Structure 1
């Protein structure tokens, strides 16, 4: 996918504006409209390549997101009819409305509809079924947007109703971490594996939103930075199958260092940067819900197994032969040097962040 074509930039800008419009709106109708603008901008980016897999993934994504938007619109309409207000935060959390028993049950059900619609849109367990199949057919640029930017609006909207459904959300987070860990064990395609990795990280992000908004934001920023470097690297190397990690096209020790640090940091191996977000959430959830934290840690340990498999198959691959195809995929020397310095220094800044972040949050 050529991101430098002007109308690609226009669709990317429309996607970002839809998210900003959605999270800045004070009414459910504005939230719904922003999510629809985001969807209309993102669909052309998905199907731009014209391949069968991309079109299939785009259609699947459109159907799932439309279903989530329909449920969100229905739930918000019911909330507005019961509370006589379109405000997206007040009617669900108002003590005056909650004290009225004949409205309380209805508002809980309507709020649950809104919550389910957001979970469908973001792909949190048990509504994760669409994410691996959609992500498996996309380009690496589309995978990066789907795994990062498309999470922002649903995550922030979940914060608006999290206090009434925290127990349900914590159970979904635990299930998401386990599904992301176990589901990735049987994956041979890198995009599918990254999809289950995204599901696993999504469980941690949502759990962080329940315990502390700052922890969720820090975790998301760290996940976005690591994913941006990793997906850009895989995009340049044009790798889609896990077995390609052990081929002779990866002959440089610098390339091994880049991929190894990125994949281990994404897995949350201490003391790399990816561990910092998990550490912050662990220190807070240990007091609130230690049982849920146990499932989150177990899912991350299972996911770390397939990260280590990728690391070993890549780092200890046979590099004696270099094909002509591999030399075409090499980065320029200057670009490679900058990329190595930035990615490695970013990932090894974990210990500094662990010492500095608690004082910043407190």
Structure 2
């Protein structure tokens, strides 16, 4: 992928195979599962050639034309800023060296009068020598072109090059200022809607199957009665646990009186009853965020594990009631939570273990 553009049919065929065993999606921070977009990944890897060509003249191929797609060139031009020293490795018209912008951006009408060869190849050193950039202008000078011409003249006329200082190029989307394939890949998704609780979901100690439940639960993608009804499928007439309201995943986890009783019983034993869901709690993710902020910092990771555990057991008990005709039982859920928490602690959930031990005598 770093050497060649994958044909569209190859990407389509690979994605078809990937969908056979897992969903496709965006980065976890954007609400996906971090399954890479192959087209964006290929572009990010190809940008590396442009970066090395710009920053490492010792490479024997840097003087040769590179077969890089236009979208890679466009992203590279956005991502790289230049600090002019001797001006020999910075393009006058197209590099981002003047007030953090390119001259093409500062003077778009003027740039249209520059021949393509000069536009792409003229360096700052060449352009400033004898004001050669002025000679690059070909065509009729309209009022707007003259205004832009005078503006550029004012910006560059007094510029003094440092002949013993090489130009510097900085990758603007990494802290080190150096290209990384990760930052180039993430550049494709700037502006995407962020999935706020992604760290609470994916960085918390919990079995993966529980995380795979909590992720669609927060996104309202669980097959509760409301979603089944919207698709004309058979569904429970009311919440299987409380039989008082129509079922949806937000109701099931924090609004249902049965779920609230489970949360209160568990959190009371840990002296954390003040963070239990209240009748006004109607959004699981918001309640989770508020609860996490209400406890001491050293307990937050353990609390996150506990919340995932309890929601998982509530969901399993709901399914037992729906599919196995079990009777709703708070005692049964509490026992399942106790048994499962012991297994989690034995398997390495050290922050949950700390919470269960220390909260017996401490307050939030």
Provide TM-score, normalisation by structure 2.
Answer: 0.28
Question: Per chain length, whose mean CA-contact separation is higher, i.e. which structure has more relative contact order (CA < 8 Å, sep 6+)?
Answer: 1
Task: Please identify the structure whose Cα radius of gyration is greater.
Answer: 2
Tell me the TM-score normalized by structure 1.
Answer: 0.28
